[in-house]
Amino acid sequence: MPIISMFYGIIIRMYLLDSKHHNLPHIHAKYGEFEASIGIEDADILAGELPRKQLRLVQAWIELHRDELKADWELAVSGENPYKIDPL
């Protein structure tokens, strides 16, 4: 599961060939002991949890990089490594 970005102690990953959430494009954000799957389209939590402040940071980052995330999702579902994306 490649790391695509890191900022403010938050690690953002995208699993290769991930169909866990009904093929909804999403990322995995980890902060300390917290981890959540977050949709790319609406930036809502699909599973797990993050502290409110870190969730807001991830949601802002998704807004800024949505097109890049969609392109990375297409790579990941076809088994290719996604590209790194600039941090917040």
Angle CA 62–8–69, to nearest 5: 20
Phi first, then psi, for residue 60 (nearest 5°) are -65, -40
Per-residue model confidence (pLDDT) at position 77: 87
- 84 in a structural domain: no
Instruction: Give the range of the structural domain holding residue 40, as residue numbers without chain letter.
Output: 3-77
- 69 in a structural domain: yes
SS3 sequence, 5-66? EEECCEEEECCCCCCCCCCCCEEEEEECCEEEEEECCCCCEEEEECCHHHHHHHHHHHHHHH
- 87 in a structural domain: no
- 45 in a structural domain: yes
Q: How many domains does the chain have?
A: 1
- 82 in a structural domain: no
- 35 in a structural domain: yes
- 67 in a structural domain: yes
- pTM here? 0.92
Per-residue model confidence (pLDDT) at position 21: 55
- 88 in a structural domain: no
Tell me the per-residue pLDDT of 48-68, one tens digit each, with 9 for 90 and over: 999 999 999 999 999 999 999
